[in-house]
Amino acid sequence: MPEYLPSLGQFILERYARSGDVLTRMERLRAYSVASDGGDFDAWKAGALAPTSPDRAETLEDLRLERSNGQTRRRVRILSSELSDYERYSIEFGYLQNVAAGEDVRILRAGEHPVPQLLDFDYWLINDRDLARMHYDAHGVFLGAEPAPRLVREARREIAECWEVAEPVASWWHRHPELHRQLTG
């Protein structure tokens, strides 16, 4: 059993607070079941046009503040060949707004992009020095994160290889209107 961090947020904030700091997220699950969605996934499925959760607004403000402070937040999202509703929701209600607020989000889709050999877990890589390995159950419920210093080199390799072939989310989404929700009414 891994020894989880008492607070993932605190772990990140202690290492990612200054101008020039870089925070990179690697995501690969088809779906997440996390409280931070704040009901937005259900609203998306019901046809809402935009996210409404207070947590979402706070995330976007954090991204704007980070950008103005000279910090860089990046994300690589590995997508399945047949996108799940959650993957589509995360693009439409998450990543596109994140990009507008300052995050650089790149997409790698199985069958469309050459996906390199990957580690088998999600993580946050902070300044290419500190790694928080994420743990989820079979339903995408977040269990906790553990520091994983022995895996930093592998994560840096993975991010570099993925970043080289990944596509910015906005241009990728624009090229795939067949994946957009078809709202009626």
Per-residue pLDDT in tens (0 to 9) along the chain, 185 residues: 789 999 999 999 999 999 999 999 999 999 999 887 889 999 999 999 999 888 899 999 999 999 999 999 999 999 999 999 999 999 999 999 999 999 999 999 989 999 999 999 999 999 999 999 999 999 999 999 999 999 999 999 999 999 999 999 999 999 999 999 988 76
Using DSSP, state whether 89 is helix, strand or coil: helix
Specify the pTM.
0.95
CATH of domain 8-179: 3.30.870
**Contact in structure between 63 and 145 (CB atoms under 8 Å):** no
What are the structural domain ranges in the chain? 8-179
